[in-house]
Chain A
Amino acid sequence: MRAALAAAVLGAFTVAQAQDKPAASPPPSWQQGKPTGMSESTLHPFAIEMTGKAAKDLPVDKLKVPAGFKVEVWAEGMPGARTMAQGDKGTVFVGTRQLTEVYAVTDKGGKREAKVLLKGLDAPNGLVFSKGTLFVAERGRITRYDGIENNLDNPPQPQVIVDNLDPNKQPGHFWKFLALGPDGKLYFNIGAPGNIVMPTYMEASVMRVDMKGMLETVAQGVRNSVGMDFNPKTKELWFTNHGRDWLGDNSPNDTLHRVSHKGMNFGYPYCHQGDTPDPEFGKHRSCKEFDKPVLKLGAHVAPIGMRFYSGKMFPAEYQNNIFIALRGSWNRTEKQGYNVMRVVLDDSGKVKKYEPFLTGFLLDAKADPPMWGRPNDVMVMKDGSMLVSDDQNGIIYRITYAK
């Protein structure tokens, strides 16, 4: 009635508008959950360079590592490079999320050659290599490519392990990380379908699947985990998790989690960072009923790849440290993150230290964009050096240590 009245007052043009106005539609998923007080916010997600960028055009000399370490460009020309996995013969496989490619990078006498290995996949973000087989997690399925390293020029057709993992096709967090457990099962995430929404029974979880395709839920209440690894000492699963957006510059933290038993619930959408009830979903629940993270990583820093270090190149105090690539932040007035972080644990698995390891991507915390590159995944090579992928530019850096 009010609309009709206003239309009559404002004249013919507005009347036409009122007539063809469709019913109010929900806000875009990345805006969803934004309080009305922030309606004038100019914070926005960043996008990768779909055609990649040349290291020559970038301030790669700004990258810093601790004394004794060295960081250099290892390979470039792989737009959207994200998750990495190394084959038995040394090939580095590289997955993407916004593109459809999986790359293979081979070392040709000190020079790296990158080529498109697979093409036309649906967000092939998750990669695991084991015993000659490359496993690929796409948006909706997990497949295997047997004997692939012997057939880099003519890869085999994939065999499907499990399909239909994304029946709802929501715009939210559909890309998957993949990790191989000591039990021989493949672990992966099914992200929440939006910023802050009630997930269905399979969403906002960490799941695992055996080679026959039998699925199990490992952990629930996980908004989106795109980094997982198994502690080489205890064989427990650890993972990073992305907290929700639009709760302010310093809330909530993104988090690091330890899975001590199957069936843990880390609280999404009711409770964030183990101690902060959601303003909407948390009204009638208590954070006490949920499992807690082992570490708060910073607000909106977007942790992606995380790996335990068990290589032989870095000094002894780096053994069993966790390295975490922070790909954000964007949902914060002054930006932070964009580093590879180091987490030191004591013998019981408690966090002793959390500090930057690779820095220099963040140029100006107040600028838009604030960074020139975004670390995405970390991977320990067979020689103990570490690769860091940068999906913003399609570049992989290598970190080495020499006394």
Chain B
Amino acid sequence: MRFAACAAALVLAGAAAAADPKAGEAKAAVCAACHGEGGNSTNPAVPSIAAQPAQFLSTALYMFRAGSRQDPQMSPMAKPLSNTEMNDLAAYFAAQKPAPPAHKTSAENAKQGPELARKFHCTQCHGPQLLGQQQMPRLAGQQYDYLRAQLRGFRDGKRGDLDGKMSESAQGLSDTDINVLADYMAGLGG
């Protein structure tokens, strides 16, 4: 069935609607139940989606719908969304203010973190302040447990990856490296 033709003939919108943060807001209430008010998570296992780059958010939703990224909670949420709805939600959450991080980075990881982030090329794509850009998410102030789980997932080939670049970049990370990076990133404001 891998090559099954799409017999149902999903007709795409002739003219795609412009991304509309207002329309996104109307659909965002259900997201806030887990991701927090305005997309600022208070659950260490659930990512903050406030102030994430819109392209990262729409890409994440696309991957959950396509099945290239899987999660028991998120996969069914993304399943019924159209591209336009994904773009609307992305536009809304990208425009939200990030809350200051509740996480406190240890003194030694505050020192080691930046070195590791350079060594493993994090800053090259996610930006010098790790604020994210385009398809690359904001890592600064992200939830600690979530960061750890993603980095382990990329390293171990268990986390869906848009183009393989994160999986490649995470090769060579030790469990300790991951703890240091997550502790450092989770405490970053900005």
Contacts and interface: CB of A to CB of B under 8 A. Distances in A.
Interface in A98-140: 98-101, 103, 111-121
Contacts of A54: 15-19, 84, 87
B10 A120 contact: no
Interface stretch (B24-32, B42-50, B141-149, B174-182): B174-182
B6 A50 contact: no
B169 interface: yes
A59 to B, nearest CB: 13
Contacts of B83: 51-52, 77, 79
Contact of A17 (B4, B84, B169, B176): B176
B64 to A, nearest CB: 11
Given A51-B86, A55-B16, A56-B18, A98 B11 contact: no
Given A45-B165, A54-B19, A157-B5, A115 B12 contact: yes
A29 interface: yes
Secondary structure of the A contact surface, majority rule: loop
A111 B12 CA distance: 13
B19 A21 contact: no
B70 interface: no
Contacts of A46: 134-135
Given A43-B124, A47-B162, 19 more contacts: A22-B174, A26-B171, A28-B165, A28-B168, A30-B168, A31-B121, A42-B123, A47-B55, A50-B162, A51-B58, A51-B83, A54-B15, A54-B16, A56-B18, A103-B12, A115-B11, A116-B10, A154-B7, A369-B134
Interface of B: 1-7, 9-19, 55, 58-59, 61-63, 66, 83-84, 86-87, 90, 108, 118, 121, 123-125, 127-128, 133-136, 162-165, 168-169, 171-172, 174-177, 180
10 contacts: A22-B172, A22-B174, A39-B118, A41-B124, A50-B59, A51-B86, A56-B17, A76-B16, A117-B5, A394-B16
Interface of A: 13, 16-17, 20-22, 24-31, 39-47, 49-57, 75-79, 98-101, 103, 111-121, 152-158, 171, 368-369, 394
